[in-house]
């Protein structure tokens, strides 16, 4: 039996993952895999990456004991992994710095990316500016409306933002459009995907770059508590901050893993984005995984108050972890997420992004029923500045 | 002998390249498809590629994307497409009908179910642009059980070594994607297309017919690719464009389609080479 951390094996996580793409991209994916494995083994690359993660991206991020929230809930101890303090305000920078270096090594000076909330687009624009690469970002029109501040941020950073008007005009359509661009310009262009999704080797590459989150947690909690955590909780859109959190603990079977999806207006309403909790197996965006689809395999329009979770698929490694029962996946509604958003803001003085507010909401649900000796780590994948307008609108407050 | 192979053989004997026409089934409505197919057949297509629309067609440009949107809006479902294929094949038993769709549609129906229904509908071949040879063993095994051809694609970025592997997985014909890019009408035939045809012809060495698609829309394109050694041409976006431009005038639509296909078929005659 392989260790769980040995996956992917042949590009697969059990039967999930793989490569389902137009033939035009196959040589690029093979080339990318080779380049990545070489870079991974290259000490100079690792050193460069480490330098940029610390000096540019501000790592390591703190593991903060949320004392007030813990006391209020009266149960397990809650720690927050403060990815909101990383450069750009989210975990996304861990991946974009890594992949931008890879693009540079491969001699590709044009970088394309998709973005939902705009966080990955911003993080891509930042990494590309720092490394002297040209960035072009695909973003759904609907998301541009929801996250207009991030659109301007990307432009300030020198990136070009392409509005995507097809389909539901959200993240999935931005990925479609980025894939179409890549098929057309594959010889000169690096596709810097923003989550643990897409064809192999992307889910592996993004997970590896995001694993810095979990490795830091491992070390920090040992320093603070002298032992590993009992429970890790992270939100799951495509699943990159969750995979980055879980991966270093996959073979520590005593650590429980929870991935929190967006239940939107409620799973029963059909207006949600909970691919693992309410979806079925399919093949989408180059990977075999859980997707939200109708009877005929048409991909369904999703809903979540948080643009970053509004995606009808999920990384194949999560599908695998669900299948074998290593991680559990749950869903939190818009309302519950907003309540957690407000709670953390007031009790801890930290305004979280709406995406990790889902993870927090789940922690707040279970913490009171746990003992005071239990330790929960919640990955606070981003800060909430980008979401204040959305929350104000949700609450009916004029600002 | 399977229908596609027989068709290429008889065209070869007559000194003709194959003209393969693509339409998205149900565009703009399900009722249109049989009459549009008739017009294309009357115009002179040798094989019909019938698309099952998918919500997220990543290999398609704006024209075929819009066709998929119209067809899905019209309520088209995969089983309906197979039913239409069956009806067309009853009227034209020698016409190979090839289903084109994305893998999730097939996956969702289940491979066994999909191919057995396709067989009942007299489908001759299947093209799934996001099915790679690496993922294809079960897909090919089940297709072969039902005597249905699996047509794989090769692209300008595909190495000769890989073209060889793709040919080993293919039956019916080898589909050459003529350009770096998605489907759509293009002005000129590019250097990369010519190169690919030459490379694929050399690797294939007559083992399997070669048809070229993506960006093929003009008689001159077809003449050129046939002269370079291709056995057939696949035309899609331009057909969809004609449908789109005459969407409210069916008579005009069918007339223009027929006229257009006639011109293309003429260009596919090898005798017409200079
Ligand atoms: C702050 C934040 N958290 C989480 C996500 C969801 O992505 P993933 O599931 O890949 O971590 C996003 C995506 O935009 C985000 O901005």
Q: For residue A142, what pLDDT is reported?
A: 87
Q: What is the mean pLDDT of residues A229-253?
A: 98
First to last CA, chain B: 33
**Is the beta carbon of A264 within 6 A of some atom in ligand 1?**
no
Q: For residue B190, what pLDDT is reported?
A: 87
pLDDT band at residue B273 using 50, 70 and 90 as cut-offs: very low
Residues B104, A186: C-beta atoms closer than 8 Å = no
Q: For residue B274, what pLDDT is reported?
A: 46
The answer to whether residue B77 neighbours chain A at the CB level (below 8 Å) is yes
Under 8 Å CB-to-CB from A7, ≥6 apart: which residues? Answer: A13, A14, A317, A320
Q: Which of A20, A172, A295 sits opposite B130 (nearest CB)?
A: A20
Q: For residue B233, what pLDDT is reported?
A: 98
Residue A44, pLDDT above cutoff 50: yes
Cα–Cα distance for residue pair A376/A250, rounded to 1 Å:
16
Closest Cα in chain A, distance from residue B120 (Å): 19
Q: What is the mean pLDDT of residues B10-30?
A: 97
Residue A330, pLDDT above cutoff 80: yes
A235-249, B114-128, B173-187, B230-244: least confidently modelled range: B173-187
Residue B220, pLDDT above cutoff 50: yes
Could you read off the pLDDT of A51-110 as tens digits, one per residue?
A: 999 999 999 999 999 999 999 999 999 999 999 999 999 999 999 999 999 999 999 999
**Is A357 part of the annotated catalytic residue set?**
no
Residue B272, pLDDT above cutoff 70: no
Considering chain A, what is the average pLDDT of its residues?
Answer: 97
* Surface-to-core class of residue A368, CB atoms within 10 Å of its CB (0-12 exposed, 13-18 middle, 19+ buried): exposed
**Is the beta carbon of A90 within 6 A of some atom in ligand 1?**
yes
Could you read off the pLDDT of A167-217 as tens digits, one per residue?
A: 888 899 999 999 999 999 999 999 999 999 999 999 999 999 999 999 999
Q: For residue A145, what pLDDT is reported?
A: 87
Share of residues in chain A with pLDDT > 70 (%): 100
Residues A297, B105: C-beta atoms closer than 8 Å = yes
Q: Which CATH number fits domain B3-261: 3.40.50.300, 3.20.20.70, 3.40.720.10, 3.30.930.10?
A: 3.20.20.70
Q: For residue B209, what pLDDT is reported?
A: 98
Are the C-beta atoms of residues A193 and A161 closer than 8 Å to each other?
no
Cα–Cα distance for residue pair A277/A364, rounded to 1 Å:
20
Q: For residue B16, what pLDDT is reported?
A: 97
DSSP code of B269?
B
| Number of neighbouring beta carbons within 10 Å of residue B9 | 12
As given in the structure block, the two tokens for residue A386 are 């980008």
Are the C-beta atoms of residues A119 and A382 closer than 8 Å to each other?
yes
Could you read off the pLDDT of A117-144 as tens digits, one per residue?
A: 899 999 999 999 999 999 999 999 988 9
Question: Nearest chain A Cα to B156, which residue?
Answer: A24
Sheet of B149-151, strands arranged across: B149-151, B125-127, B97-100, B47-51, B18-24, B232-235, B210-213, B174-177, B153-154
Q: Which residue has the higher pLDDT, A107 or A399?
A: A107
Q: For residue A53, what pLDDT is reported?
A: 98
Q: What is the mean pLDDT of residues A317-344?
A: 98
Are the C-beta atoms of residues A58 and A87 closer than 8 Å to each other?
yes
Q: Which residues of A touch B129 (CB under 8 A)?
A: 22-23
Q: For residue B271, what pLDDT is reported?
A: 66
Q: What is the mean pLDDT of residues B80-87?
A: 98
Q: For residue A311, what pLDDT is reported?
A: 94
Q: What is the pTM of this model?
A: 0.97
Closest Cα in chain B, distance from residue A64 (Å): 42
DSSP code of B52?
P
Domain ranges of chain B: 3-261
The answer to whether residue B156 neighbours chain A at the CB level (below 8 Å) is yes
For residue B127, CA distances in Å to A167, A209, A216, B171 come to 23, 36, 47, 11
A361-370, B78-87, B92-101, B187-196: least confidently modelled range: B187-196
For residue A56, CA distances in Å to A52, A60, A93, A129 come to 5, 11, 10, 12
């Amino acid at each position: 039996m392989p260790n769980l951390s040995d996956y992917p094996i042949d590009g697969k996580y059990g039967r999930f993952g793989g490569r389902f793409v137009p033939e035009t991209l196959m040589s690029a994916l093979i080339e990318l895999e080779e380049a990545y494995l070489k870079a991974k083994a290259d000490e100079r690359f690792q050193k460069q990456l480490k330098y940029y993660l610390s000096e540019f991206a501000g790592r390591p991020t703190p593991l903060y004991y949320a004392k007030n929230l813990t006391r209020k809930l009266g149960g397990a101890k809650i720690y927050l992994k403060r990815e909101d303090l990383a450069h750009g305000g989210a975990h996304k920078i861990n991946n974009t710095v890594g992949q931008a270096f890879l693009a540079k090594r491969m001699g590709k000076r044009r970088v394309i990316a998709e973005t939902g909330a705009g966080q990955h687009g911003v993080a891509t624009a930042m990494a590309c500016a720092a490394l002297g690469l040209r960035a072009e970002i695909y973003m759904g029109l609907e998301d541009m409306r929801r996250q207009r501040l991030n659109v301007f941020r990307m432009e300030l950073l020198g990136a070009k933002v392409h509005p995507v008007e097809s389909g539901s005009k959200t993240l999935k359509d931005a990925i479609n459009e980025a894939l179409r661009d890549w098929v057309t310009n594959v010889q000169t262009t690096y596709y810097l995907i923003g989550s643990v999704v897409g064809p192999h080797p992307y889910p592996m590459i993004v997970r590896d770059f995001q694993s810095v989150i979990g490795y830091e947690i491992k070390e920090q909690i040992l320093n603070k508590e002298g032992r590993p955590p009992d429970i890790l909780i992270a939100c799951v859109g495509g699943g990159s901050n969750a995979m980055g959190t879980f991966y270093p603990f996959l073979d520590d079977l005593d650590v429980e893993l929870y991935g929190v999806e967006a239940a939107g207006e409620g799973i029963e309403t059909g207006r949600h984005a909970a691919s693992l909790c309410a979806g079925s197996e399919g093949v989408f965006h180059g990977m075999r995984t859980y997707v939200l689809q109708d009877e005929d395999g048409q991909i369904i329009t999703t809903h979540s108050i948080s643009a970053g979770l509004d995606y009808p698929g999920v990384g194949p490694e999560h599908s695998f972890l669900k299948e074998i029962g290593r991680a559990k996946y749950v869903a939190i509604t818009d309302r519950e997420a907003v309540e957690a958003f407000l709670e953390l803001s007031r009790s801890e003085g930290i305004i979280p992004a709406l995406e990790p507010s889902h993870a927090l909401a789940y922690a707040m649900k279970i913490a009171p029923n746990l003992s005071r000796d239990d330790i929960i780590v919640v990955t606070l994948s981003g800060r909430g500045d980008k979401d204040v307008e959305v929350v104000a609108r949700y609450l009916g407050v004029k600002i | 002998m399977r229908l596609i192979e027989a068709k290429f053989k008889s065209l070869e004997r007559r000194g003709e390249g194959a003209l393969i026409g693509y339409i998205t089934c149900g565009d703009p409505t399900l009722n249109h498809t049989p009459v549009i197919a008739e017009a294309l057949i009357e115009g002179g297509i040798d094989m019909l590629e019938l698309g099952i629309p998918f919500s997220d067609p990543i290999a398609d440009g704006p024209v075929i994307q819009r066709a998929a949107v119209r067809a899905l809006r019209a309520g088209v479902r995969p089983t309906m497409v197979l039913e239409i294929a069956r009806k067309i094949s009853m009227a034209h038993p020698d016409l190979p009908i090839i289903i084109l769709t994305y893998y999730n549609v097939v996956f969702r129906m289940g491979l066994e179910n999909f191919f057995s229904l396709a067989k009942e509908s007299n489908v001759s071949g299947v093209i799934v642009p996001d099915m790679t040879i690496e993922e294809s063993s079960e897909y090919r095994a089940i297709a072969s059980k039902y005597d249905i051809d699996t047509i794989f694609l090769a692209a300008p970025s595909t190495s000769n070594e890989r073209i060889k592997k793709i040919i080993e997985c293919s039956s019916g014909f080898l589909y050459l994607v003529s350009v770096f890019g998605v489907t759509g009408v293009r002005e000129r035939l590019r250097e990369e297309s010519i190169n690919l045809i030459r490379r694929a012809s050399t690797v294939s060495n007559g083992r399997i017919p070669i048809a070229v698609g993506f960006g093929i829309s003009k008689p001159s394109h077809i003449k050129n690719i046939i002269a370079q050694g291709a056995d057939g041409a696949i035309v899609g976006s331009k057909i969809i464009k004609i449908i789109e431009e005459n969407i409210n005038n069916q008579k005009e639509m069918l007339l223009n389609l027929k006229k257009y296909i006639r011109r293309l078929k003429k260009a596919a005659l090898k005798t017409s080479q200079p």
